[in-house]
Structure 1
Amino acid sequence: MQTKSNILLNNANLTALPESVIVPGYDRSKVTSGIVHVGVGGFHRSHEAFYTNEYMTQSGDLSWGICGVGLRDADRKMKTLLEAQDYLYTLIVKHPDGTVENKVIGSLSDFLLGCDDPEAVINKMACAETKIVSLTITEGGYNFNPATGEFDFSNPDVIYDLANPNTPRLVFGYLVAALKLRRENGLPPFTIQSCDNVQHNGDVAKKMLIAYATAVDSELGKWIESEVSFPNAMVDRITPATTPDDIAYLQQLGIQDEWPVTCEPFHQWIIEDKFILTRPQWEQVGAQFVTDVTPYEKMKIRLLNAGHSVLGILGSLQGFETIDESVQDPLFAKFLRHFMDVEVTPILSPVAGINLDEYKSTLLARFANPNIKDGLARICSENAAKLSTFMLPTILDNLAKNGEIECATLIIAAWCYYSDKRVDKQGKALVISDAMADEVHKLASQTSERSTALLELDTLFASLTSSSVFVMAYKKQVVAFYDTPDVKHHMQMILNNYSV
């Protein structure tokens, strides 16, 4: 609750903030927006916006302000609150030892809402000032069929966008409209920079956009394919959802910030250096530019993101609420490390400059940070898309190499039970947030009658159901899980069987 002593976070009050709060080290009135970013959530604000803020502070190059874009009415709250704060917000960096750093981020310079004024968004992307359009649209936002990897033209929003190109709903409609306008105006295209946890995220963005663009205008599709750059990137920083306690913490410091962001101190950004126009020199503030990001992104997605799913699904069923609570249970930590060592590490390529054993140990330490209360409900949001990206490829790779699949298969079986019963071991309702929740629940709820019912979800499992090894392993796991729905029992059984 705001009190008279609270200092409202805005441009005018930056100099009035406590000395312990770091403020932007540049004149925000001189910032121009070279970046348009679609999907202004917590992660974008702890990652790309953070790097850009640091770069402008260090370099004095103020041509890289970020114009945020929300496409849906659900983004209205973010726009409204940030607008009232001159697009400033506090980044609360929480260290494991209890140390906290408070930094005001000033790189966001505007926020447009596509559902209110799609033309404004298209024109902003199409203007000469914009050099990069970056994306944090989540795994599901790329609109591909996980089983085929192809663009899903059956999506009702895609059908709408094709019929209404000037008032699109999805990001592809906006990108195509803006690129078409730049081409007509004789401007070079912008770089499209994906910041999502999708392996080969740039390649996926390119494939999906070209498929959509070709359906709009085949010549435009060819131009985008030959002229637009889509650098792949690996992004990493654990960023839990903002809570009322975070707002209250700043109020205790005398600061009124309606939507701060909390995060861990660790951050990593590895990017392929193939930008069309100029770009921020993010490497000056810790980003790493490489010729091929594949080994890094595969390592991170298969270990960190899949590790989150392991802890998220099993921990939710156990009745845990946060990642640190899950990993601080010795059995959960042991099982996760076993999954990393036995099922993931053998299918990873060497990663230059990375010691995998140290990386895995660091992950466990990051997950255990007691001051980062990353909720399992957030971790388990969009489980269907996340598992198809983070977990199923590891199973496929191990099947091809006759490797181990027990741990990963247990996670799929546990997810089936999770999606069917929707309660933890104490009977408390689980918070399910997934675009495919109803479809998954319908099949999962038939498991007692047909043990492999969930595998009939072709959009996820078509590539796996042809493997009798996987189907038999899943059937064994899911039948055992339904007979004894105790996650610790099944984790211990796998660990015991492996040690025999």
Structure 2
Amino acid sequence: MTARLELANVPAGHRPDVDPAGLSVGIVHLGLGAFHRAHQAVFTEQAAAISGSTSWGICGVSQRSAAVREQLAPQDGLYSVLTRGQGDPSIRVIGSIREVLTAPEDPGAVVDRIADPAVSVLTLTVTEKGYRAAAAGGLDLTDPEIQADLAGRPPRTVVGQLAAGLARRAAHGSPPLTVVSCDNLVANGPFLRRLMEGYAAASPDAKQLLEQLATARFPASMVDRIVPATTDADRDEAAALLGVRDEAVVVAEPFLQWVIEDDFAGARPDWDKAGAILTGDVAPWEQAKLRMLNATHSMLAYLGGLRGYETIAEAVRDEELAGLAQQLMTDDVIPTLTPPDGLDLTEYGATVLKRFANPALKHRTAQVGMDGSAKLPVRLLGTVRDRLAVNAEPRLAALAVAAWMVSVAKATETGTVLDDPQANKLQTAVSSATGTAAVVDALLGVESVFGADLPANAVFRQLLVEQAGRLS
């Protein structure tokens, strides 16, 4: 029987770059999923190892279930990253996560940790839907969970947790906090600040919260690494490589990137020494990634899913789909972008497809395609609007959106579960739609996805009807 993951059982060549027992918590992270463990936690450990600092251990907060805590707690927070590229896989144990909390079980402990004076940075990966934003871009104050937090319950939402933590920091005299969003949202830091300001204005403690927000910093950031869901086969392979069993192993590609706006309220880890890019303007990097990598990922997920492909790598091996993905980037996306210094967009696009084609990463089309109503506005609809604004027809972007529409309609027709925060609204909209044009009109009418402008655009509607007709 393979031993459980414990530091003493890990071969020397696979051990963490730091002594986990020597780290104190200086970072709180909301959204303790696989991506954080394969990305920010790795950067943080490498930065600590290079600088010799022991102040940047991470308290990870699971926002929903206790599953991650149940995996990590028996292993003293240790887990491994299984990296799969073109050659043999490699594996390394990471020790930067020093505490794991589960928000629904103990929301008070989450607030206490955010308020801890030793904590100066909070990061988060809660996915687009975790921000509970309204279609217009502000906080959705009609959301029942937001209303419950505002009414004074122990907070369960991200903005509620942050607000309560900031209020308690004020009471404790804690130094200003830096909040780094690592989710795929346009100008994610300023966006989160606006949501927090909306929450504060609706709160009984409005004055105090707004004062705290004035001293906090919300830098924008852009993250990139492909992290597919871990399977039992991955755990078996990790056990064979490590010689111990790791129930919390995460799988990732070799590529790793983090671009952060250099705007911090106080101390921070030396992430730049670990390879992160600190810059005065994240926007060009962010736009290139969202509109090229993320949008193409979504396109391949929906088109590939409709053709029965289980993984993105399978979809890219389909020459027609690979060609359409390439066209999306060259024909629709690149004309809307201003490249950051040092980034060749054509070369970047080729790299994106090469990464997607990595056969060792079994990134499922269903996983990439989930939460489409939250992802489409930030990944594809900005490109659509920019192309329409210069009287160009965004045919490939419309194809990607149409593929999502057809996928929603097919899931509704077959009774398949639609993994989307607006599943009920979407499926209700298409349930009585007969024919392609009716499906398009029904989904275009969901203002929380398409706003008020796109449904009124005859060119975009016609493109959707044509493309959906080819896919149906």
Q: In 2, Cα distance between the equivalents of 1:40 and 1:211?
A: 25
Q: Residue 465 of structure 1: SS of its match in structure 2?
A: helix
Q: Deviations over 1:81-119 (max 9, x none)?
A: 10011010010010123x211110000000112222221
Which stretch of structure 1 is more off in the superposition, 222-231 or 201-210?
222-231
Return 252-261 or 429-438, whichever deviates more. Answer: 429-438
| Deviation (angstroms), 1:248 | 0.8
Query: Of residues 4, 9, 16 in structure 1, which corresponds to 2:5?
Result: 9
The aligned residue for residue 496 of structure 1 is: none
1:24-43 equivalences under 5 Å are: 24-43=16-35
The letter of the residue matching 2:11 is: P
Q: 1:317·1:423 contact (CA, 8 Å) conserved in 2?
A: no
Asked if the contact 1:416–1:444 (Cα under 8 Å) also holds between the matched residues in 2, the reply is no
User: 1:377 touches 1:432 (CA, 8 Å); kept in 2?
Assistant: no
Contact 1:211 1:221 in 2 (8 A): no
Establish whether residue 84 from structure 1 lines up as the match of residue 70 from structure 2. no
Q: Distance in 1 between matches of 2:402 and 2:291?
A: 18
- CA contact 1:446–1:453 (8 Å) conserved in 2: no
- Report if aligned partners of 2:25, 2:58 keep a CA contact under 8 Å in 1: yes
User: What is the match of residue 146 of structure 2?
Assistant: 158
Structure 1 residue 251 corresponds to structure 2 residue 239: yes
- Kindly report which structure 2 residues correspond to 1:181-260, keeping only aligned pairs within 5 A, or say none: 181-216=168-203, 217-253=205-241, 254-260=243-249
1:100 aligned onto 2:112: no
Instruction: Note the C-alpha offset of 1:430.
Output: 6.0
CA distance in 2, matches of 1:31, 1:348: 42
Residue 63 (str. 1) matches residue 52 (str. 2) = no
Separation of aligned partners in 2, 1:419 and 1:134: 32
Query: What is the rounded CA distance, in whole Å, between the counterparts of 1:292 and 1:269 in structure 2?
Result: 13
Counterpart AA for 1:157: E
Give yes or no for contact 2:59–2:97 (8 Å, CA) kept in 1.
yes
- Given residue 90 of structure 1, which amino acid in structure 2 is its aligned partner? S
SS at match of 2:258: strand
* Structure 2 SS opposite 1:68: strand
Question: 1:386 & 1:434 partners in 2: Cα distance?
Answer: 10
State the Cα distance separating 1:55 from its structure 2 match. 1.3
> Among 423, 427, 447, which residue is 1:437 paired with?
423
How is 1:66-465 mapped onto 2 (pairs within 5 angstroms)?
A: 66-72=58-64, 74=65, 76-97=66-87, 99-146=88-135, 148-165=136-153, 167-216=154-203, 217-253=205-241, 254-422=243-411, 432-448=418-434, 450-451=438-439, 452-461=441-450, 462-465=452-455
Partner amino acid, structure 2, of 1:352: D
Give 2:305's aligned amino acid. S
- Residue deviations 1:372-414, cap 9 Å, x none? 1101111011111011210111101111111231111122222
Q: Deviations over 1:106-163 (max 9, x none)?
A: 00000112222221111111011101111101011111123x1121011110111111
Q: CA deviation at 1:235?
A: 0.2
Spell out, residue by residue over 1:409-435, the C-alpha distance to the aligned partner (whole angstroms, 9 max, x if none). 1222222221111299xx9x8663111
The percent of aligned pairs where both chains have the same amino acid is 38
Root-mean-square deviation (Å)? 1.7
CA distance in 2, matches of 1:224, 1:214: 12
- Shift in Å, 1:22: 1.9
TM-score (norm 1): 0.90
Deviations 1:245-276 (A, max 9, x none): 11111222322001200000001100001110
Cα distance in 1 for partners of 2:448, 2:5 equals 46
| 1:18 pairs with 2:8 | no
| CA distance in 2: counterparts of 1:476 and 1:443, whole angstroms | 20
1:295 deviates by 0.4
Shift of the alpha carbon at 1:456?
1.3
Q: How does 1:481-496 map to 2 (within 5 A)?
A: 481=470, 485=472
Alpha-carbon spacing, 1:86–1:476, altered in 2? closer, same or farther (3 Å): same
Q: Does 1:474 align with 2:467?
A: no
SS at structure 2 position matched to 1:378: helix
CA distance in 2: counterparts of 1:327 and 1:437, whole angstroms: 27
**Which is worse superposed, 280-289 or 55-64?**
55-64
Counterpart Cα distance in 2 of 1:25 and 1:225: 35
Structure 2 CA distance for aligned equivalents of residues 455 and 386 of structure 1: 15
Q: Is contact 1:233-1:272 (8 Å) kept?
A: yes
Change (3 A) 1:218 1:423: closer
Count matched residues: 466
| TM-score normalised by structure 2 residue count | 0.95
CA deviation digits over 1:159-211, x for unaligned, max 9? 1111124x011011111111111112222221111011111010111000111
| DSSP 3-state at the match of 1:134 | strand
- 1:442-492: CA deviations, max 9, x gaps? 2233342525121111111223112222123223333x23xx62xxxxxxx
Flag structure 2 segments of 5+ consecutive residues without an equivalent. Answer: none
Tell me, in whole angstroms, the C-alpha distance in 2 between the residues paired with 1:357 and 1:470.
26
CA contact (8 A) 1:342 1:404 kept: no
The Cα of 1:291 is off from its aligned counterpart by 0.1
Contact preservation (8 Å) 1:299, 1:348:
yes
Within 2, Cα distance between the matches of 1:104 and 1:218? 44
Corresponding residue of 1:491 = none
Partners of 1:95 and 1:54 in 2: how far apart? 20
